[in-house]
Amino acid sequence: MSTARGQWLMFLDADDWVYASFLARLLAALKTAPDAVAAYCGSRRVMPDGAFTPSSIAPEVAIQPFETFARRCAIATHAVLVDRETIVELGGFDASLRTCEDWDLWQRVARLGKNWVMVDEPLAFYRASPNALSRNSTQMLADAGIVIARGFSPDPRVKRPGLAHANGATEATGRTASEALAWFALWNAASDCGCGGSSIDPQSLRALPAGRKWAREIAKVALDGLMVGSLSAPAHLAARWDRFGGALTALIIELGKVWGDPAAARRVQYHLEQMLLDADDLAAPRRLARTLGIRVDARNPTSTELPEGIDQIYAYLMMDGHIEAVVQFGVLGNVTRRHWIELILNLAPQK
C-alpha cells in the first residue's frame, strides 16, 4: 500500500481473481459519482471442486454504508475499489485482528459519511479453501465482536467522521449490537457445523428473533455459513447431508431451547431443508432431518414409504424426464399411489 501511487486501491489475494472488466466497470461507476469514496461489485465463491456459489451483492451498502458495516461485513475484500488517500489517512488494516480486518477497514471508511457506488455484477471471485481463517470459528467470533463493538461506539482512529456516525451506529436504523453479533454467531455456527465441528455456544444466538417472519432469513444465513464450512455449493449440500446434518440439526434444536420455542426452531429447519432441496436435482432420494426429497413419475406413481422421523415430502413430479411441478407437503405415515394420483390430477391443467 505504501508503494501505490494511483488514486484507487484494490486488495486481491493471490488465489482470488476478478473479471477482466472489473476495473473498467468500477472506474466507470466512480466517474458517475465524483463524491464517492469507493465502488463495489457482486462476488461469488468458488469451491475446491470448481463449483460456483450464487452471486452475492448487498444493495444496502450503497444506501447506508456505515449502518451496514457497523453490523456485518457485506462485501468481499477484493470486490472494492477504494480511494487510496482515504485508506492511508485511516491507517490501513488493523494488524491486531487476525480475521475481520477488511470488515474493520470498510467500517472506518464508511464512518466518514461518503458515498459508496454499486456495480450490480458478480465481477469478483473468492476461492474457498480448507485452510482459510474464516473457518476458525472461535477467532472469527472474537474478532467480529470487536468490530461490531467499534461500530456502535465512537472510533478515535477516524479523525473526521461524518456527523451522523461520530458516536457509532444507531439502533433505530437496524439491528442492535447484540443482535448483529448473534446473526454473525449463527453464520459462524453453521460454518462450524459444515466443517464437522460444533464449538459455538448456543447462548450466543439468544438475541436472534424467533418470530415466524424471521425463520426463512435465519435459514438463509445458516445456509451461507454451511456452504463456507462444508466447502460445498448449494447444489451439492443435500447429497452431503450425512457429513453435517446431525450437527446442524442439533444446533437448530438448541436454538429452539434458547428461545423457549421448539416450534420456531422447526420452522427454521423446514425452511433450510427446502432451500437445500430447491438447489438439488434429486437424482437420488435425499433424506434430511425432517424432509424427504424425491422424484415421482407423474405417469406411474408408486407408494412412498417414509423413513422414521420424516414428516415432510418435497417432490419433483416428473414427466418424460422433465420436471412438471414441484410439490411440498406435510405427511404422517406413507404416501399411497392413490394419493399421488389425486395430487397429480389436481395439479394437471384443466381442459
Angle of helix 177-195 versus helix 215-230 axis, rounded to 10: 40
pTM assigned to the model: 0.93
The verdict on residue 109 lying in a domain is yes
91 and 31 within one domain: yes
98 and 202 within one domain: no
CB 82, CB 40: distance < 8 Å: no
CB 292, CB 285: distance < 8 Å: yes
349/222: higher pLDDT: 222
Interval 233-286: pLDDT, tens:
999 999 999 999 999 999 999 999 999 999 999 999 999 999 999 999 999 999
The verdict on residue 249 lying in a domain is yes
Quick check: 333 pLDDT over 90?
no
Query: pLDDT band at 349, cuts 50/70/90?
Result: low
4 and 95 within one domain: yes
Residue in this structure with the C-alpha cell 427454521, named with its chain if needed: 268
335 and 211 within one domain: no
The verdict on residue 26 lying in a domain is yes
291 and 254 within one domain: no
Query: What are the distances in angstroms from CA 129 to CA 144, 226, 229?
Result: 20, 14, 9
Last residue of a domain, one of 280, 302, 324: 280
- The Cα–Cα gap between 220 and 198 comes to 19
CB 227, CB 233: distance < 8 Å: yes
Interval 137-193: pLDDT, tens:
889 999 999 999 999 999 999 999 999 999 999 987 779 999 999 999 999 999 999
The verdict on residue 169 lying in a domain is no
Domain range for 321: 286-347
Residue 351: its pLDDT value, please? 42
26 and 7 within one domain: yes
322 and 219 within one domain: no
Query: pLDDT band at 133, cuts 50/70/90?
Result: confident
Quick check: 348 pLDDT over 70?
no
Counted domains in the chain: 3
300 and 274 within one domain: no
- The Cα–Cα gap between 166 and 113 comes to 10
Quick check: 58 pLDDT over 70?
yes
The verdict on residue 168 lying in a domain is no
Quick check: 127 pLDDT over 70?
yes
310 and 271 within one domain: no
The verdict on residue 44 lying in a domain is yes
122 and 265 within one domain: no
Query: How high does pLDDT run on average in the chain?
Result: 94
Phi, psi of 211, rounded to the nearest 5 degrees = -65, 155
191 and 86 within one domain: no
- The Cα–Cα gap between 94 and 99 comes to 10
The verdict on residue 170 lying in a domain is no
- The Cα–Cα gap between 348 and 325 comes to 9
Residue 347: its pLDDT value, please? 84
Last residue of a domain, one of 263, 280, 297: 280
Phi, psi of 183, rounded to the nearest 5 degrees = -65, -40
Quick check: 324 pLDDT over 80?
yes
Interval 69-95: pLDDT, tens:
999 999 999 999 999 999 999 999 999
Last residue of a domain, one of 161, 185, 218: 161
71-108 burial, b if ≥16 CB within 10 A, otherwise e?
Answer: bbbbbbbbbbbbbeeebeebeeebeebebbbbbbbbbb
Closest CA to 282 of 297, 267, 266, 293: 293
The verdict on residue 166 lying in a domain is no
- The Cα–Cα gap between 71 and 171 comes to 10
145 and 21 within one domain: yes
For the chain, percent of residues with pLDDT exceeding 70: 98
Q: Tell me the CATH number at 64.
A: 3.90.550.10
Quick check: 350 pLDDT over 70?
no
